[in-house]
Chains A and B, each alone.
Chain A
Amino acid sequence: MEFKLTEEQELIRKNMREFADKYVEPIAGEIDENSRHPAEVFKRLAEGDWMGIPIPVEYGGAGADYLIHILAVEELSRSCASTGFTVSIHVGIACMLVLLNGTEEQKQQYLLPMAKGDKLGAFVLTEPGAGTDVMAATTTAVLDGDAYVLNGTKTFTSNGPTGDTYMVFAWTDKAAGRKGMSCFIIPKGTAGMSAGTHFQKMGLRSSQTSEMVFKDCRVPKANLLGKEGAGLVMAMAGFDHGRVGIAAQSLGILQAALDESIRYAKERVQFGNPIARNQAISWMIADMATELSAARFLTYHASWLKDQQRVFSKEAAMAKLYASEAAMRHTIKAVQIHGGYGYCKGAKVERLMRDAKITEIYEGTSEAQRMVISGNVLR
């Protein structure tokens, strides 16, 4: 058993940390405050091949392991969870969906520019009436000659207002149940598809989230991804990949919370001593460091399984569940350690706590992860 990253993995992780310290950390507060998508950062990410790490070189990626992508998301999220998430959903779900299910033409036309970072991907599944219960979706795709016609309203689409390439799920045969949903690749500018304005959120504020409305949106047959009716199976496989990314995002948030807590607890003096000298504080930090380590092992293990081409659904759900809940638990503690200063804008821990909450909700709530895990172990 080896608990060690390779030299390349270590160097790449360090390079991403340097990138994040230099280009992301200084603006993270501002883009949170203004709900701004930092296009300038994504341009730089594209230049460094960070937008398609596990995608083969012939399709515009870096041709590296999934674990390297995970390390990159973790390090980015340590500075800004929104930026880390945008990379995660773009690579882990949008790019992976096309890589795993696309035809050669689709890979050349859509995956290549996404993996190079020239185009931003989005994953369009959730509807106002269909969150955890995906089967309650109502958006339909009806074949009409050489095109499918989509009608319906999706919501909570990350990269909705800023995306270029959308993976959209709709019923082609509702009566067929789990075998009746299909996935379509729809490029920005397609008539009949429009993005709403982005939602004002508690956290993850620089990631743009919106409704997506489809009104007689004609999508050529050639844009059907995978087989008709295979949409749900593909979405679930996409979630497996995406969830390891959300676990990595949670690791980044938690590492930042730990760093901030250690620094502040050593610096802040009350009753004549740094507050770290109080066991009440130092034990909070001990628990934080311990659970961060546990979450990290779960996450890297899930990613390692993926790289070994083994089944990793259960492990991805476990990593996401544990890492996200640990991030939430301990960012609350991090604010506690900072006292009143942690409750004010400008303290990084305040943003970390708001950002942590979303990791327990999207790409399957904690409850949904427990359903996946229990379904697996009770089989």
Chain B
Amino acid sequence: MPNIIACCKWVIDEAYIRKGPAGALDFSTVDYKISDYDRNAIEEAVCLKGLHGGSVTVLTAGAPEAAKGVKDALSRGAEQAFFAGDPSFNQLESSQTAAILGEIIRSRIPYDLVICGEGSSDQYAQQVGPRLAENLGIPCISYVQKLTIGEDGRILAERRVEEGVEVVEAPLPVLVTVLPEINTPRIPGVRDTLTASKKPVVAIKKEELPPVGAARLQTMGMTATRMERNCEKFAATPEEVARFVGALQKLGVIS
């Protein structure tokens, strides 16, 4: 009966990002969601619990507003949550997130299996999973599209790699990062959401954790793609195609 931890991140729902006048991204009216692949992580944990028993704990670190995401995660079938919320956790980089999650897991949550999404919907750095495994000193299986726990308690994972599918086996405990192909996340029912508020959430304050290392990355800028209409028409003749290529070269789009 495995104790499973599913890690999830509360991210900006990209559907709500708008383009400001000068091409800057406008986040003023955005809504948030559980990062897409993390929904697969939670779903997989809950499905495995359905098959083998055990427990599912969701774990997240983020801004205090991510409490709503914790509720969302609990409505998807986990029975408890650990939530490290602090305003300074809003823009954590992968190494910092992994350090925080690792510390919480080691000191507070007994586990056999940790499941993360392959990458987050906002940055898609694909770093937290492997870094967290390293932090915990356990093996990491990434790019997983199918997961089974055998009779002997070993885990069997199908990894989708560039040249095909790789099947690997490992003893627990282990960390896996999952791809969206692994399952279809449920849409919680009304009662699932209402009862989520009654499930236990262990809140962890920043002060209870060792200091988070300094950020190493710096965001230089973020702008929206631009579409400009020049109302120039090209026909599908060889001469026109040549003229089209010339126009692109002149604009510096190709060289």
**A residues apposed to B, CB below 8 Å:** 7-8, 10-12, 14-15, 18-19, 22, 47-50, 53, 57, 62-64, 68, 72, 269, 272-273
Is B145 interfacial (CB 8 A cutoff)? no
Kindly supply a per-residue 1/0 record for chain B positions 195-217, scoring 1 wherever the CB is within 8 Å of any chain A CB and 0 otherwise: 00100000000000000000000
Per CB-CB distance, the 7 closest pairs between chain A and chain B, nearest first, are A48-B189, A62-B190, A49-B190, A49-B189, A7-B68, A272-B231, A49-B191
Kindly supply a per-residue 1/0 record for chain B positions 37-67, scoring 1 wherever the CB is within 8 Å of any chain A CB and 0 otherwise: 0000000000000000000000000000001
Kindly supply a per-residue 1/0 record for chain B positions 57-99, scoring 1 wherever the CB is within 8 Å of any chain A CB and 0 otherwise: 0000000000110011001000000000000000000000000
Q: Which residue of A lies closest to B184 (CB)?
A: A22
Is B229 interfacial (CB 8 A cutoff)? yes
Q: Which residue of B lies closest to A18 (CB)?
A: B187
Assess whether B190 is in contact with A50, with CB atoms less than 8 Å apart.
yes
Q: Which residues of the other chain, B, contact A10 by a CB distance below 8 angstroms?
A: 68
Count residues of B near A (Cβ-Cβ below 8 Å): 17
Q: Knowing A269-B229, A272-B231, A273-B229 touch, does A12 contact B190 (C-beta < 8 A)?
A: yes
Docked Cα-Cα span, A18 to B187, in Å, equals 7
Among B31, B67, B193, B197, contact of A15 (Cβ-Cβ < 8 Å) = B193
Among A8, A19, A22, A269, contact of B193 (Cβ-Cβ < 8 Å) = A8
Assess whether A8 is in contact with B188, with CB atoms less than 8 Å apart.
no
Among A7, A15, A53, contact of B188 (Cβ-Cβ < 8 Å) = A15
Docked Cα-Cα span, A189 to B35, in Å, equals 49
Tell me which of B33, B188, B190, B231 has the highest count of chain A C-beta atoms within 10 A of its own C-beta.
B190
Tell me which of B33, B187, B188, B197 has the highest count of chain A C-beta atoms within 10 A of its own C-beta.
B187
Is B194 interfacial (CB 8 A cutoff)? yes
Q: Chain B nearest CB: distance from A269 CB in Å? A: 7
A-B contact pairs, 11 of them (CB 8 A): A7-B67, A11-B75, A14-B33, A18-B187, A22-B187, A49-B191, A53-B190, A57-B191, A64-B194, A72-B190, A272-B231
Docked Cα-Cα span, A47 to B188, in Å, equals 10
Q: Knowing A8-B197, A11-B75 touch, does A68 contact B190 (C-beta < 8 A)?
A: yes
Q: Which residue of B lies closest to A269 (CB)?
A: B229
Assess whether B229 is in contact with A12, with CB atoms less than 8 Å apart.
no
Q: Knowing A11-B68, A272-B231 touch, does A19 contact B187 (C-beta < 8 A)?
A: yes
Docked Cα-Cα span, A57 to B191, in Å, equals 9
Q: Chain B nearest CB: distance from A117 CB in Å? A: 11
Q: Which residues of the other chain, A, contact B31 by a CB distance below 8 angstroms?
A: 14
Which residues of chain B from 21 to 41 have any CB-CB distance to chain A below 8 Å in the complex? 31, 33
Q: Chain B nearest CB: distance from A115 CB in Å? A: 11
Q: Chain B nearest CB: distance from A153 CB in Å? A: 38
Q: Which residues of the other chain, A, contact B231 by a CB distance below 8 angstroms?
A: 272
Docked Cα-Cα span, A146 to B197, in Å, equals 48
Among B67, B71, B229, contact of A8 (Cβ-Cβ < 8 Å) = B71
Q: Which residues of the other chain, B, contact A272 by a CB distance below 8 angstroms?
A: 229, 231
Docked Cα-Cα span, A57 to B189, in Å, equals 13
Which residues of chain B from 90 to 128 have any CB-CB distance to chain A below 8 Å in the complex? none
Assess whether A15 is in contact with B187, with CB atoms less than 8 Å apart.
yes
Docked Cα-Cα span, A72 to B30, in Å, equals 21
Q: Which residues of the other chain, B, contact A50 by a CB distance below 8 angstroms?
A: 189-190
Docked Cα-Cα span, A193 to B31, in Å, equals 50
Tell me which of A47, A48, A64 has the highest count of chain B C-beta atoms within 10 A of its own C-beta.
A48
Q: Which residues of the other chain, B, contact A18 by a CB distance below 8 angstroms?
A: 187
Q: Which residue of A lies closest to B189 (CB)?
A: A48
Q: Which residue of B lies closest to A68 (CB)?
A: B190
Q: Chain A nearest CB: distance from B132 CB in Å? A: 27
Q: Which residues of the other chain, B, contact A57 by a CB distance below 8 angstroms?
A: 191
Docked Cα-Cα span, A62 to B75, in Å, equals 14
Q: Chain B nearest CB: distance from A3 CB in Å? A: 15
Q: Chain B nearest CB: distance from A72 CB in Å? A: 8
Contacts beyond the supplied A11-B71, A57-B191: 19 A-B pairs with Cβ under 8 Å: A7-B68, A7-B71, A8-B71, A8-B193, A8-B194, A8-B197, A12-B190, A12-B193, A15-B187, A15-B190, A47-B189, A48-B189, A48-B190, A50-B190, A53-B190, A62-B189, A269-B229, A272-B229, A273-B229
Docked Cα-Cα span, A47 to B193, in Å, equals 14
Q: Which residues of the other chain, A, contact B187 by a CB distance below 8 angstroms?
A: 15, 18-19, 22, 48
Q: Which residue of B lies closest to A20 (CB)?
A: B187
Q: Chain B nearest CB: distance from A7 CB in Å? A: 5
Q: Chain B nearest CB: distance from A80 CB in Å? A: 16
Docked Cα-Cα span, A8 to B194, in Å, equals 7
Docked Cα-Cα span, A273 to B227, in Å, equals 12
Q: Which residue of A lies closest to B33 (CB)?
A: A14
Tell me which of A7, A19, A57 has the highest count of chain B C-beta atoms within 10 A of its own C-beta.
A7
Q: Which residue of A lies closest to B231 (CB)?
A: A272
Q: Which residues of the other chain, B, contact A22 by a CB distance below 8 angstroms?
A: 187
Docked Cα-Cα span, A10 to B191, in Å, equals 14
Docked Cα-Cα span, A273 to B188, in Å, equals 43
Assess whether A11 is in contact with B229, with CB atoms less than 8 Å apart.
no
Q: Chain A nearest CB: distance from B135 CB in Å? A: 31
Q: Which residues of the other chain, B, contact A48 by a CB distance below 8 angstroms?
A: 187-190
Assess whether A11 is in contact with B72, with CB atoms less than 8 Å apart.
yes
Q: Knowing A22-B187, A48-B187 touch, does A63 contact B194 (C-beta < 8 A)?
A: yes
Assess whether B229 is in contact with A62, with CB atoms less than 8 Å apart.
no
Which residues of chain B from 225 to 244 have any CB-CB distance to chain A below 8 Å in the complex? 229, 231
Q: Which residues of the other chain, A, contact B188 by a CB distance below 8 angstroms?
A: 11, 15, 48
Q: Chain A nearest CB: distance from B26 CB in Å? A: 16
Assess whether A62 is in contact with B194, with CB atoms less than 8 Å apart.
yes
Docked Cα-Cα span, A286 to B187, in Å, equals 33
Q: Which residues of the other chain, B, contact A14 by a CB distance below 8 angstroms?
A: 31, 33
Assess whether B191 is in contact with A62, with CB atoms less than 8 Å apart.
yes
Tell me which of A11, A63, A273 has the highest count of chain B C-beta atoms within 10 A of its own C-beta.
A11
Q: Chain A nearest CB: distance from B121 CB in Å? A: 15
